[in-house]
Amino acid sequence: MAIEVLDPIVANQIAAGEVVNRPASVVKELLENAVDAAATRVQLVVRDAGKALIQVSDNGCGMSREDAKKCFLPHATSKIRTSDDLSRLQTMGFRGEALSSIAAIAQVELKTKRAEDETGTRVVIEGGIVREVSDAVCQEGTTISVKNIFYNTPARRNFLKSDQIETNHISEEFTRVAIANASTAFTLIVNDKAVHRLTSGNLKKRLVELFGNSLSQRLLPVSEEVDLVSISGFVASAESARRNKSSQYFFVNGRYMRNPYFANAVERAYENLIPEKTYPAFFLFLTLPPENIDVNIHPTKTEVKFLDERIIYSVLHAAVKKSIGQYRLAGELDFSKRTIEFPVVTSSTPLPTPPRVNFDPSFNPFDTPKTDAAFTEAGAYVQHTLFESERSSSACVMPKEEGAKTDSRIVESRSSDSQEETLGEKAQTEKAFMQIANKYIAVRSKDCILLIDQHRASKQIVFEHILSGESLQSVSQRMLMAQKHFFSPTVSFQLVEFLPVLKRYGIEMEYDKEDGSFLLHSKPVRQTADECFEFAQRMIEEGVERMQESDSENLRAETLAEKYAVRSGEVLSTAEMQTLVSQLFCLRNCVRTFGGEKIILKLTRDDLDKLFEG
Ligand code: ADP
Ligand code: MG
């Protein structure tokens, strides 16, 4: 096979893949360039998750006409001159690769002007080919618009994930650069909506703007300087540990890095202070001589190697431990009240505890069971005999929809003239249900006894309800007083659209346009409000779509089922037992749980006879 030298344009397209693999990588490169140009104000505009448009405008130093033409050439950089510079600058990602890569796979327009120039320059470049260089009327600084990313490499374009996921990545890159440069003002506009307007300030203020008050009130400063490295920033107090690692940020010499090894040093400082499988949030800056950083890193990777890793590990560990110890009780914010615009209800604000609702308000015994539900013979029988008399009693037949709203404590909702009859029935029902050892429910049936494991039954009910997309009303209760919560603007912005999904998990929230908060109206009985907020946050962070992939949905349903289910040891009222049993017999699988555990035992007369033999 003859060897051919690749057409430089094709070669560049291939190389571009190293730097640009999704819209978020363009965002990262453009934002960093703006910061490198000493901009004090930077605006990012994104349309259609960056697939249609990514535009970064800055008020930085701008470029001369010559530089504006040159900057798209491969290896064009104003930041490295000699190979000495190389070791000093490579950690900052200066390779002169970004703009040439971006121009290779998109339609790019650059407008730029330096302070000393009369007119600015406009360069249009598409798929690596310069289309136009002309005068431009523009302000001092640079605006780069990247349109139709991967328009000439459809295979790559097809690899892009949903808008939701790509937008999450963009938002994350924005957040990283914004944290690393707190004195620069940043704006993020997604599909014409302003998601962030971050004003210039210190790190703490920046964190408040990005993550909301509740986290930032619990930030502990970290500051340590040794010969090898200096460490500064904040760690979150133990109480605000979260169930995921999404708020863990390291920056090395001003750039974001991922470093699980160092993260472990921080996490270990919290040992015995936070529950297992929860993680502290942190925002830590390491500054060290570039010679001590391994420069041999991949352009898109955010991992960095250090020469003295173990020493840095212990310095970091000690520094964080010291902060936790010193500042645990300190809490006052150190900047003007200006950014706190709204009263915030945090988990520590005392709120009246809502009374426990002991009865499922949506339960309607007159509902005909789903036709596809597989009934066991005995189950069907129980269902039938228990509720038969009620079905025929006209006094209590309510329209189905109304039934859910009305107080459905069947007995109490009856009209007075049927009171006596009702009481009789009630007594009968009570006899039919019996709780044994606060663990099993015994149900008397025609000539058998059904024994039901209350925890397993409830678990299977929750599990099937989640999977079938029914809202978890059976475990959800309305709160006496709605609880208010502020999510970070990025999360809020996406959450609004996913409130219906949350409802399926028994969490009913409402967005308050006035102040941008969310009001929690209903929540699963066994979940705290904080857990609901955390769940919502995780849903957005993990990407709603991934959550709905069938594998993880099953897993989630299993976890939630364990969590929400009635526990063994819990005392149940007759009404609760009745609800549970009735729901159980409407399930697809009411005999065994999703994990294969037995839910029901049937003791027939024969079984009893056998037990009494001998
Ligand atoms: P690098 O950042 O590694 O130097 P890039 O491809 O990102 O490489 O940018 C190439 C060059 O273009 C930079 O070195 C800089 O001189 C110039 N440049 C890019 N973006 C801007 C900007 N926003 N303002 C001023 N100059 C810029
Ligand atoms: Mg760059």
CB-based contact 247:236 (threshold 8 Å): yes
pLDDT exceeds cutoff 50 at 397 = no
So what's the pLDDT on residue 494? 80
SS3 string, 210-263, reads: HHCHHHHCCEEEEEEECCCCEEEEEEECHHHCECCCCCEEEEECCEEEECHHHH
CA of 227 relative to ligand 2 center, distance in Å = 30
CA of 57 relative to ligand 2 center, distance in Å = 14
- Return the ligand 1 atom nearest residue 34 CA: 23
Q: Rounded to whole angstroms, how far apart are CA atoms 232 and 229? A: 10
CA 410 to chain centre: 40
Q: Rounded to whole angstroms, how far apart are CA atoms 27 and 187? A: 13
Q: Rounded to whole angstroms, how far apart are CA atoms 434 and 417? A: 29
What average pLDDT score do residues 391-396 get? 35
Mean pLDDT lowest among 8-17, 197-206, 377-386, 538-547 = 377-386
- Nearest ligand to the C-alpha of residue 101? 1
> DSSP readout, 566-592?
PPTT----HHHHHHHHHHHTTSS--SB
- Return the ligand 1 atom nearest residue 94 CA: 3
| Range picked from 96-105, 210-219, 348-357, 513-522 for highest mean pLDDT | 96-105
Residues with CB under 6 A from ligand 1: 29, 33-34, 36-37, 58, 60-63, 71, 76-79, 94-99, 142
Give 285-315 pLDDT, tens digit per residue: 999 988 788 645 555 556 777 878 888 999 9
Interhelix angle 377-392/419-432, nearest 10 degrees: 170
Task: Name, in order, each residue with C-beta under 8 angstroms of 394's C-beta and a sequence gap of 6 or more.
Answer: none
Q: Which two tokens stand for residue 142?
A: 């640079």
Greater confidence (239 vs 150) lies with 150
Rounded to 5°, the CA angle 536-539-541 comes to 110
The Cβ of residue 332 has, within 10 Å, a number of other Cβ atoms equal to 5
What average pLDDT score do residues 119-136 get? 96
Q: Which two tokens stand for residue 63?
A: 């470029």
pLDDT exceeds cutoff 80 at 126 = yes
CA of 71 relative to ligand 1 center, distance in Å = 6
Using CA of residue 210, residue 215, residue 220, residue 226, what is the dihedral sign?
Answer: negative
In which residue are the tokens 């009570």 written? Answer: 430
So what's the pLDDT on residue 389? 38
pLDDT exceeds cutoff 50 at 10 = yes
CA of 79 relative to ligand 2 center, distance in Å = 9
Take atom 2 of ligand 1 and give the residue whose Cα is closest. Answer: 94
Q: Which two tokens stand for residue 546?
A: 């991934």
Ligand 1 mutation target, pool 57, 58, 99, 146, most atoms within 8 A of CB = 99
Interhelix angle 260-268/309-327, nearest 10 degrees: 40
Q: Rounded to whole angstroms, how far apart are CA atoms 175 and 31? A: 11
What DSSP character marks residue 337? Answer: G
What are the angstrom distances between the C-alpha of 555 and each of 23, 466, 508, 614?
Answer: 30, 11, 22, 48
- Nearest ligand to the C-alpha of residue 64? 1
- pLDDT category, 429, cuts 50, 70, 90? low
Take atom 21 of ligand 1 and give the residue whose Cα is closest. Answer: 33
Rounded to 5°, the CA angle 475-478-480 comes to 140
- Return the ligand 1 atom nearest residue 100 CA: 6
> DSSP readout, 483-520?
EEE---HHHHHHHGGGHHHHHHTT-EEEEETTTTEEEE
Rg (alpha carbons) of the chain, rounded to whole number: 31
Q: Rounded to whole angstroms, how far apart are CA atoms 112 and 119? A: 9
Task: Name, in order, each residue with C-beta under 8 angstroms of 603's C-beta and a sequence gap of 6 or more.
Answer: 448, 449, 450, 451
Strand-pair category, 282-287 with 248-252: parallel
So what's the pLDDT on residue 387? 44
- Return the ligand 1 atom nearest residue 98 CA: 6
Burial of 531 (0-12, 13-18, 19+ CB in 10 A): middle
Mean residue pLDDT of the chain comes to 78
CA of 99 relative to ligand 2 center, distance in Å = 7
CA of 65 relative to ligand 1 center, distance in Å = 13
- Nearest ligand to the C-alpha of residue 70? 1
Residue type present at position 524: P
- Nearest ligand to the C-alpha of residue 73? 1
Take atom 23 of ligand 1 and give the residue whose Cα is closest. Answer: 34
Give 563-595 pLDDT, tens digit per residue: 778 888 888 888 888 888 888 888 888 888 988
CA of 268 relative to ligand 2 center, distance in Å = 35
Residues in the chain: 614
User: pTM here?
Assistant: 0.59
In which residue are the tokens 């302003």 written? Answer: 194
Share of the chain above pLDDT 90, in %: 37
Task: Name, in order, each residue with C-beta under 8 angstroms of 371's C-beta and a sequence gap of 6 or more.
Answer: none
Q: Rounded to whole angstroms, how far apart are CA atoms 328 and 332? A: 11
CA 522 to chain centre: 20
Greatest CA span in the chain, whole angstroms?
110
Residue type present at position 598: K
